A = this chain, B = another copy of it.
Amino acid sequence: MNFELTETRQMLQDSLRRFLSDRYTTEVRNKIIDSDAGLSTEIWDQLAELGVIGALFTEEQGGFGGAGFDVTTVFEELGRAGVVEPLLDTAILGGGLIAALGDADQQSLVERVIAGDLHLAFAHSEPGGRYDLNHVATSVTAEDGGVTLTGRKAVVANAEAAEILVVSARESGEAGDEDGISLFLVPRDAAGVSVRGYPLLAGGRAAEVDLDQVSLPESARLGAPGAAYSAIAERVSAASVALAAEALGAMETATELTRGYLLTRQQFGRPIGTFQVLQHRMADLWIELEQARSAVINAAGHLEGDARMRDLNVAAARNLIGRAGRLVAEDTIQMHGGIAMTQEYELAHIAKRIVMSDHRFGDTDHHLEQFIALSA
């Protein structure tokens, strides 16, 4: 039993934390959010240079990490600083899926991802599909030496910045079947692809993506036809671990900001941190923070293991963090009062990151259901 970070991960954590605290200030970040692109290529390049993207891939994949605890080390720091750059979409999901299923040619894209030269997006969810991972209605039809995709993908994060979309589509069966789902590499500027972009409430951008008879060569398919579901499930679990760790980091920042505020803010002639009601509320938040940290550790530690145990621990972590995160976001805003309601204050963004992470790949209730099904 050992709960210490390895030396490599400790170094990664230190350097990433130092970089973000120096360079990714509230002001810089808020400007990025307001920009048309919704991300900073400069920051992205520097993250790649620091090895942050490489840490999310295994050595065989060309990285130097890739395990659950690498993911949590990186994303906890991203969460602490409220980073909006799409590491989840380009690296964990897009890059991770290519690394898992791609042939030798396709794998070369992973190198570009690690180098910071390529953006990807995972175009999977569909309107009306909510959080059901097997809900894929986008159709694949065979044509001369290739395929045609038609369908609509919903809230595709990072779609506009992505050179290539990793698109799920159905070769056989019906929406709701796990079998029959394939993944395709679709250039964002391919004929028939239209992208309606918009900003996200918690920063970054996403898009509705329409696929209207998009013709692709056979070589665009990742892996064997119709057999992509288990790789998708594995990567979405990794994404859930990343989201949980990111929320944990954001919760740390939210409680630290609040601690500082309680010690300095004066009301009725004394620091508001002297009010017992706020003291006890903080005590409860700190307790929940430790619980959240444990839940993230449990999920990360099971990411590489047996799929049922992985899914059970991931569902547990996301349910716990869904509950604890809401509590932390709402209570830290409440303890601040008006100032936390203003867009320019750090906590406003951090709280949005926490709560909005509950809307990616399943919310609190979705993960509770998963947990119940898996523990039956």
Q: Which positions in A face B, CB cutoff 8 Å?
A: 275-277, 280
Contact = CB atoms under 8 A, between A and B. Distances in A.
5 contacts: A275-B276, A276-B276, A276-B277, A277-B277, A277-B280
Contacts of A277: 276-277, 280
Q: Which 4 A-B pairs have the closest CB atoms?
A: A276-B276, A276-B277, A277-B280, A277-B277
Contacts of A275: 276
The A interface is mostly helix, strand or loop, or mixed, namely helix
A334 to B, nearest CB: 13
Nearest to A281: B277
A372 to B, nearest CB: 15
A150 to B, nearest CB: 36
Contacts of A280: 277
Nearest to A275: B276
A276 B277 CA distance: 6
A292 to B, nearest CB: 23
A276 B276 CA distance: 6
Contacts of A276: 275-277
A276 B280 CA distance: 10
A23 B275 CA distance: 44
Nearest to A279: B277
A299 to B, nearest CB: 29
A275 B277 CA distance: 9
A220 to B, nearest CB: 46
A178 to B, nearest CB: 30
A277 B276 CA distance: 6
A277 B281 CA distance: 9
Nearest to A274: B276
A276 to B, nearest CB: 4
A277 B275 CA distance: 9
A281 to B, nearest CB: 9
A276 B275 CA distance: 7
